């Protein structure tokens, strides 16, 4: 990587650190306006090609585990995507999509359609939330009488 001076350099002149002006001019420019974010890493699997130069992402329904239920935001984990990363989801969106009350959501089995190739939670495209309440196991009403 080459240093880029903050002050103009006279043509043919040398900088204090020994760089020549021609070297400075050939240095690659830093990208401007590039959004900064956290790159999680490569995703397993391949992207299906939709045509030359165009990639089509296959969406997939995955399970979601409710980690924290809040009045404004819920934290969910998508184990099939990144088991160690909690994703923020608006509580209102979960309730509206599933039609469940907060109490029902806390014990529900959640699933959602995502982009499994996403490298950041903003690229997941969370949609089509579904929830089902697990069937409670019945308790015995008592012991059978022995005759």
CATH classification of the domain holding 79:
2.40.50
Instruction: Map residue 19 onto helix, strand or coil.
Output: coil
Q: Is residue 101 part of a domain?
A: yes
Asked if residue 88 lies in contact with residue 73, where contact means CB atoms within 8 angstroms, the answer is yes
Asked if residue 89 lies in contact with residue 8, where contact means CB atoms within 8 angstroms, the answer is no
Q: Is residue 18 part of a domain?
A: no
Asked if residue 94 lies in contact with residue 87, where contact means CB atoms within 8 angstroms, the answer is no
Q: What does each of the 147 residues of the chain score in pLDDT, given as a tens digit?
A: 545 555 555 555 555 555 554 444 554 555 555 444 444 444 444 444 444 555 566 899 999 999 999 999 999 999 999 999 999 999 999 999 999 999 999 999 999 999 999 999 999 999 999 998 777 665 555 444 444
Domain count, the chain: 1
User: Is the CA virtual torsion 93, 96, 99, 102 positive or negative?
Assistant: positive
Other C-beta atoms lying within 10 Å of the C-beta of residue 99: 9
Q: Is residue 33 part of a domain?
A: no
Structure tokens at 53: 């130069």
Q: Is residue 96 part of a domain?
A: yes
Report CA-CA distances (Å) from 134 to 17, 79, 92, 106: 69, 19, 22, 11
Q: Is residue 9 part of a domain?
A: no
Q: Which domain holds residue 95?
A: 57-132
pTM of the predicted model, to two decimals? 0.55
Q: Is residue 39 part of a domain?
A: no
């Amino acid at each position: 990587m080459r240093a880029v001076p903050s002050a103009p350099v006279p043509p043919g002149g040398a900088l204090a650190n020994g760089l020549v002006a021609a070297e400075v001019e050939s240095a690659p420019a830093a990208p401007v306006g590039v959004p900064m974010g956290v790159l999680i890493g490569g995703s397993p699997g391949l992207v299906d090609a939709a045509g030359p130069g165009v990639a089509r992402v296959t969406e997939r329904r995955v399970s979601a585990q409710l980690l924290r239920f809040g009045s404004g935001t819920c934290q969910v984990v998508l184990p099939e995507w990144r088991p160690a990363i909690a994703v923020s989801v608006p509580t209102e969106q979960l309730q509206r999509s599933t039609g469940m009350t907060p109490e029902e959501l806390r014990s529900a089995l959640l699933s959602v359609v995502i982009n499994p190739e996403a490298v950041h939670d903003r690229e997941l495209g969370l949609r089509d939330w579904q929830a089902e309440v697990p069937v409670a196991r019945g308790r015995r009403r008592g012991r059978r009488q022995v005759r």
